[in-house]
A and B are shown apart, each in its own frame.
Chain A
């Protein structure tokens, strides 16, 4: 799974039918401290995330097919959770939503 930030939404009026009625979020990958790594991508919203949320993103085919229930859905990237904080090995919070 990838740590990412929701930076917007993507509107696609013409698309593969498996994506119909799915919310597409524009995402950018973050390092564990919350800094952007420079990579942007698109994901299907699986948990009601919105702009500014730091999220967990699954980038694997089987999860996408599970979400849609369509066996041949071409969906890999799914937002599966909103991150509250990340704790390092020493017990210190290296990312904390509450203080960002």
Chain B
């Protein structure tokens, strides 16, 4: 699992069978201090209860396990948002999302 920041929303009307109705968000993985690290990518949203938008911190899972959270589990998905992050405590202090574009 890794922390990421939502930076956009993806709309794709033609999809692989089984991916209908799955929300897709563009996420930017974060470094330890909350700055951007690594490449932005698209992640499927696990459940409709997880309502996130640009700027939100999210907990993501990559790899085969990402598809396991979706209604249809045998689908080609390699990243999923599995939680909305309210707070990250780091060395006793609250970690805030860094300003967009700040890279480590």
* A-to-B contact residues, CB < 8 Å: 7-17, 19, 24, 26, 28, 36, 38-44, 51, 61, 64, 72-77
Count residues of B near A (Cβ-Cβ below 8 Å).
36
10 interchain pairs, CB-CB under 8 A: A12-B59, A15-B46, A19-B83, A24-B83, A51-B91, A64-B65, A73-B68, A74-B46, A76-B61, A77-B1
Q: Is B85 within 8 A of A11, CB to CB?
A: yes
CB distance from A22 to the nearest CB of B (A): 10
Interface string of B2-35 (1 = CB under 8 A from A): 1100000000000000000000000000111000
- Give the interface SS of chain A, mostly helix, strand, loop or mixed: strand
- Give the interface SS of chain B, mostly helix, strand, loop or mixed: mixed
**Complex-state Cα separation, A7 to B31, whole angstroms:** 13
Q: Is A10 within 8 A of B63, CB to CB?
A: no
Interface string of B72-104 (1 = CB under 8 A from A): 010000001011111111111001000000001
* B-to-A contact residues, CB < 8 Å: 1-3, 30-32, 37, 46-47, 49-51, 59, 61-66, 68-69, 73, 80, 82-92, 95, 104
Q: Is B2 within 8 A of A16, CB to CB?
A: no
**Complex-state Cα separation, A28 to B95, whole angstroms:** 14
Q: Is B32 within 8 A of A15, CB to CB?
A: no
Set B37, B82, B88, B95: member contacting A16, Cβ < 8 A: B82
